[in-house]
Every structure is written in structure tokens, then in C-alpha cells.
Structure 1
Amino acid sequence: MRSIPDSMDPDVVRAVDARLDRVEHEYDVRVLWAIESGSRAWGFPSPDSDYDCRFLYVRRAHDYLGLRARRDVIETPLDKIFDVNGWDVRKALGLMVKGNATVGEWLRSPIVYRGDAAVRDELLALAGDVTDRRALTNHYLHVGRNSLGLYASTKVAKKFLYALRPAVTLRWMRVQEGAATPPMDLPTLVAGCALPADVRAAVEELVRHKSASREMGSIAVPDVLLDFVEAELARAEATLAEPRPPRAGGARDRAWSLADDLFRRLVGGVPQPVG
């Protein structure tokens, strides 16, 4: 599977592909899923935005059976253009069960460098079974509050957008109550959360401004957006302050069991060394 928009520099995309090839060769792993994260995938890039490739990989079975634990992150050299790193799928599955939102976002990125759609679908199905919406709410609330504080001290448009996306995500989760994993990108979130017309227009104008300005350019955000973000974050705080509803007996054990089963299937699909 591959989905690369025409707006992305083809030379940079080829360089990202080459890095992924080197990762597979040098670390003897298989890249299962590689996507763009960051502002390009979130829907509000600047002309000077860097490229944030994230990937999930799996090792051979015998690598997981050794006495010495292997590092569960692979990082490639970081510079002004490239930020390319990934997680062992074992780490990703464990974090998913614990309520981490990052894995679900990677699986729903609109920009895909390479990947097996069937594997992506299995991982999304697992997320649907094990995702703790309260943990997701806490995650997006934390990100939103921190980013809003950074905007207040810097007035950098990027920092406000980093608060806006979590706020819109929290609203999307409330409107789409039966869905498990929210979309990654702001346009899809906006389309699915019934924003008031004035808020939606202000969001679109802010994204237009960001698309024509420097990555760290400043802006005076209109009150309609500041009020919207504050209201959504406050509503999430009120929800988390309520007593947690009781979970079904054995729910956590079932979640780990489902994740274990998928992990074994993924490892079983990797050819083993000869001899």
C-alpha cells in the first residue's frame, strides 16, 4: 500500500524510501507500516516543514527468543529535513493495550510510504477491541493543555495548531461515540465532529495562514478558536473527574491475550534464517 500526495517533494520521498530500505537491510527487520506523521499528515504543513516518517517493524522469531533484550526503537540520523524512526511492533502492541494514542494515529495517517493493508486492518481491529477511550481522552487533554500553554508564551501558530488538533479530536470522540480510534488529520476530524460554522471557518483560515508562513511563524489566534479549544479541554477535564465506570471482569487480560495472538501471527509471517 502506498499513498503519497503530489505536494510532497519526490526527491525527499525517494530518500525516505532509501532509509527504510537500509533499515530493513542493516537491522534485519521487516517494515510492516511506514507513514508520515507531524504537520504534513495532520493537515497543516508550512513550506519549510520537515518530513516525519514513522514506521512499525517486526524481527525474526529467534531474535525475540534470545536472552538479551534487543532495543525496541530504530532511529536514523536526524537533520533539518528528515526525522525517520520506528518502533518494534511488540512495543507498539504493548503501548496500544496500555492506552497509548500514537499507534492508532500512525495506522490512520493519510500519507503512507509503504505497508501491508491487511496488517494495518488487523492492527486497527485490535485497537477497536482494546482501546481505552478514557486513556485516549487523557492523552489528548494533556497534549492540548501543554500546547495551549506553549502558544500563550510564544504566539507561534504551530503551537496553537498543536492544541487545536487535540481539542477537535476530543470533540470528534464525543460525537463519534461508537468509534474506537479517531482520525489523525485535522480536515477529517473537522468533517466528522459537527463544528459550529464560525469555528470551522476560523480553522480553515488558520490552516491557510500556516500553509503560507514559516514553520515557527507567529499569529494572533481569534477568540472564537481560543474559546473553542478551552471549552473542549475543560469538558474533557470534567469527564475525567467523574468516577470511572466499572470495566468488565478480565477485560485487561483479554486485551493482552488478543495483542499476544496478533504479535505471534506477525512474527510467524517473517521468514526465519537458514541454518
Structure 2
Amino acid sequence: MTEKIIQYLDKIEKEKEIKILLACETGSRAWGFPSPDSDFDIRIIYVHKKDWYLSLSEKNDSIELMFENNDIDITGWDLRKSLRLLQKSNPPLLERIQSPILYKSDNDFLVKINEIANSQYSRIATIHHYLSMAKKFTEELKEKEDYKLKNFFYALRSATACKWILEREEMPPIEFQKMIDGLNIESNLLNRIGELIELKATISESYLHKGENELISFIENCINSANEQRNSLPSSKGDVKELNSFFLKMLS
């Protein structure tokens, strides 16, 4: 599948007349808890030739394509849009630049954008995103006795990201294992999370699960703490000049 994905990326570059600076996995494969039938969620950051940006008209700054009967989802943002989102500490963008699964990458670009992301990082902006996701998926868990294990992990990861943001200065890592390893979480919960990751690796995404009261209580505690403390978190200390300079350098 990797070979097919790279072929599709090469085709997109030629047809769209762009250069892909980063093409990576996001979603469950990058987070570290895929199911056997998980889709391939490919996210790209790309740049046009310099003249493309020298226009008064607004142009499409994103790409959305599906391949292999919708099993391969390739979407992405133009460099300028990506840097505007970076200024806001957009969590999906912060995740993709940390992805452990790369299909294409400009190493200098990747190193520099991670440096800038850290200098622009806003804890208050990111916690609002993860808190909203945690609440949404936790409510879904409560609606029915049986629930998709996939949705349980979405709730668990989002809530744990909130805990990370409250307790740590740096950006939450995309890889869930790194996240839980970097926090003080009771060993019995960690053991159960590990067992559920192993289970998820063997069953389809349609599988229905039940129970896990201790972990759901952990999720709710993370949500409650985030609700209480989110507005006291510091905002970004970033400088738009740094982003402008990087943008112009990538066009030169």
C-alpha cells in the first residue's frame, strides 16, 4: 500500500503542479492504535510556484482526494494556509508535522516547521480543540451500553491530550503511547489501555465494546480538570514575522 500511496502522491504533484513538502499518516495509524481495516488518512502540506501567490484573486488552498474505493484519503493544505493555521496552534496541523509515518518529506522544511510550531505553541488554543473532541465522544459512549472501540479511543486520546496540555509545557505528541508514557497515570489504567490497543489491532472498526468504567472515569476526570483550568492557560508568544520569513524562504 505504501508504494501505491507514493504513486498517487507523485501523480498529484504533476497534475496540480505543486511540490509536496510533507505527506504523512494521521488518524489511528499515526496515533498507534489502528484496526486491521483502518483507512489510510494521508495529510499533505504543499507549495506552489512563486507566481501562484502573486495574484489578487483568491485561489483554492486545499486538496481533497479519495483513492482505492475510499480506503486512501489524501487531503492537504497549501503552505500559506498551513502557516496561518500554525499561528493559531491548529491541533490537526501540529499533529501531522509530528507524524511517525512519512511518505514524502522535505527534511529541512519538517525540522524548521517543528521549531516554529514550538515557538508559536498556544496551550489554551489546543486544549479547547481536544476538550471539545473529548466531550463529543464521551457523550457518545454514554448514549448506548455498547459502543465502538474506535470512538472510545477517540475520547480517551482527546481527554489524555487535555491532561498533557495542563501538565506539560510542550505540544502533545501525536503518538498516544508517548503521551501516556509522559504522564503520571495509574499502572492499572496503563495496563488496561495496552490490552485494549492489542484488542483493537485484531478486530474491525465496526466492533462494539462495553464497560471500561475505570477508564471512562479517568476520561471524565480529565475533562473536568480541563473545564476548570483551561482559561488560566497561557496563550501563544509567537511572532508573525517568523512565519512570514519562513514562508518567503520556502518560495525562494
Q: Specify if TM > 0.5.
A: yes
- Correspondence for 2:137: 147
Once the two structures are superposed, residues 84-143 of structure 1 have per-residue CA deviations (whole angstroms, 9 ceiling, x without a partner) of: 111101111101112311111001111111102221111011111111111111111011
Find the residue that maps to 1:77 and give its secondary structure: strand
* Matching residue within 156, 175, 194 for 2:148: 156
- Correspondence for 1:237: 227
**CA offset at residue 165 of structure 1?**
0.7
Q: Does 1:224 align with 2:226?
A: no
CA distance in 1, matches of 2:7, 2:217: 44
- Correspondence for 1:272: none
**CA offset at residue 42 of structure 1?**
0.8
When normalised by structure 1's length, the TM-score is 0.86
- Correspondence for 2:51: 62
Once the two structures are superposed, residues 26-83 of structure 1 have per-residue CA deviations (whole angstroms, 9 ceiling, x without a partner) of: 1111000110011111111111111111110011110000222221111223533111
Task: Please report the RMSD computed on the Cα atoms of aligned residues, expressed in angstroms.
Answer: 1.7
- Correspondence for 1:255: 239
Q: Does 1:265 align with 2:249?
A: yes
CA distance in 1, matches of 2:162, 2:66: 34
Q: Which runs of 5+ in 2 are unaligned?
A: none
Distance 1:126 1:241, change over 3 A: closer
CA distance in 1, matches of 2:151, 2:141: 5
Letter of the aligned partner of 1:66 in structure 2? S
Q: Which runs of 5+ in 1 are unaligned?
A: 1-11, 269-275
Q: In percent, how many aligned pairs have the same letter?
A: 30
Kindly indicate whether the alpha-carbon contact (under 8 Å) linking 1:47 and 1:213 is maintained by their aligned counterparts in 2. Answer: yes
Counting matched residue pairs gives 249
CA distance in 1, matches of 2:113, 2:231: 30
Kindly indicate whether the alpha-carbon contact (under 8 Å) linking 2:20 and 2:105 is maintained by their aligned counterparts in 1. Answer: yes
Kindly indicate whether the alpha-carbon contact (under 8 Å) linking 1:172 and 1:182 is maintained by their aligned counterparts in 2. Answer: yes
* Matching residue within 161, 166, 170 for 1:169: 161
Give runs of aligned pairs for residues 1-275 of structure 1, distance below 5 A: 12-78=1-67, 79-153=69-143, 155-177=147-169, 179=170, 181-242=171-232, 251=237, 255-268=239-252
Kindly indicate whether the alpha-carbon contact (under 8 Å) linking 1:157 and 1:217 is maintained by their aligned counterparts in 2. Answer: yes
Kindly indicate whether the alpha-carbon contact (under 8 Å) linking 1:151 and 1:157 is maintained by their aligned counterparts in 2. Answer: no
Structure 1 segments of 4 or more deviating over 6 A? none
Once the two structures are superposed, residues 6-41 of structure 1 have per-residue CA deviations (whole angstroms, 9 ceiling, x without a partner) of: xxxxxx111110111011101111000110011111
Kindly indicate whether the alpha-carbon contact (under 8 Å) linking 2:166 and 2:226 is maintained by their aligned counterparts in 1. Answer: no
CA distance in 1, matches of 2:180, 2:201: 17
When normalised by structure 2's length, the TM-score is 0.93
